[in-house]
Structure 1
């Protein structure tokens, strides 16, 4: 059996490879793919095969997927370009005769108003049309997404947000990576869609309190409107597009799009998800 993992130079992809090995998959049966062979060297040193995979270079996908049985398609990080990139990977998987495709999607991608959902919805549709038996992992929010806010709070003593009372059920990347390893290492997951999230949903005040505990000093929660948030971010030097994206994500949080606790993730991995404070400390 050959398992190809894309995006293995990133935190999630690399962790998926490590969890596959931990679950008994032989390193020689894994191909870790990414754009930089230098960044793959640590995995190569552990016995994992490596390959250059660039979503915008179909030839690299064709070569990496030769004789592959399973493709773990870690979604690309370039917002606005992902559908075409993922299409290239799916087409290559069809041509190679891949028997199982695992895709890291977004919460309720087919129905959600989440700003990130449309590209994931389109990718899921491409996967269904391909005919490859697939497992869709709709990954919720990553705890590591808040490391920047934690560092900002360390510098300013403030957590700035326009997320209001919205809840977030985050989990650590290692939890999501372990789920991907499980659905490959175990039988019976093809054809399933899993809504993955942390076990506990927390609000912005709890996030500020967690920051304070980690930093050992007070952190003030400053809750503002979307309009005020946008103006503050632009005054701080963010461009219009980036500032708007941050504010849109906070609005999605305020609207409750990131707060579901389905329990799918902890059931898949067989243990509770990583608590918020532990995930942040590990990320630091």
Structure 2
């Protein structure tokens, strides 16, 4: 399938593309596609794909043209993942139908769309992928430039200006830094679609993940049993836990349940909003006030009013 990258509005050399700039553009675009695919498949974007997935991420420059009046246009050819990864056999990987209908360039467009949507507090992106999106800003050589990413009508195009990266940067900064954690629970579900494991804790379900294949191969012996995991908790922009990256695991000790809990990095305001949104059948002011009782000293009346509006959106 063909995709277009169009650059207009350069102060200098409009319609031309210097070799170093072309190299930066292709590298930054490919980096976003790679991280977006690994995030979709494995739940964490900062993973090096194996040689088969690298082939599936092929993005071919089909043509390049330009003029002073119309700017620079690049045509990119990509294959659907249904043609490149469906037949690959992974012990802990099964591509979803949604992924199979996409292409590397479609993942780039979708990633920008997610990061730039109006309400992106619940955006399903992680820090490495957002850093890759931010790096795309280096392709701009003037404040007047506009980049268009599109595939000729199949999905909505993305229009990028330098100002858009301020919002992406704020989203990246809003994600809490990873934390070292210890959690205890029953290993009772394998999410083969993302190569992740599920841990049922007393505080709820937790996605756990290991970059080291040896850990995954060995920890499955605890399937259906309790296990204690030490690792690094990664969070979403709203402060909720995304997943825990496993560094080590062991048979539970007598005090493990007492010292372990489901990680969270939500602020008091985010906790209040999250709890209130769970009360789908009781969005009244009185219900919200009862929920806010424990945190009433941590928010102002203005914040309370704004959170009430958020719940009804």
What TM-score, normalized by structure 2, do the two folds share? 0.21
Greater RCO between the two (CA within 8 Å, min separation 6)? 1
Higher strand share: 2
Higher helix share: 1
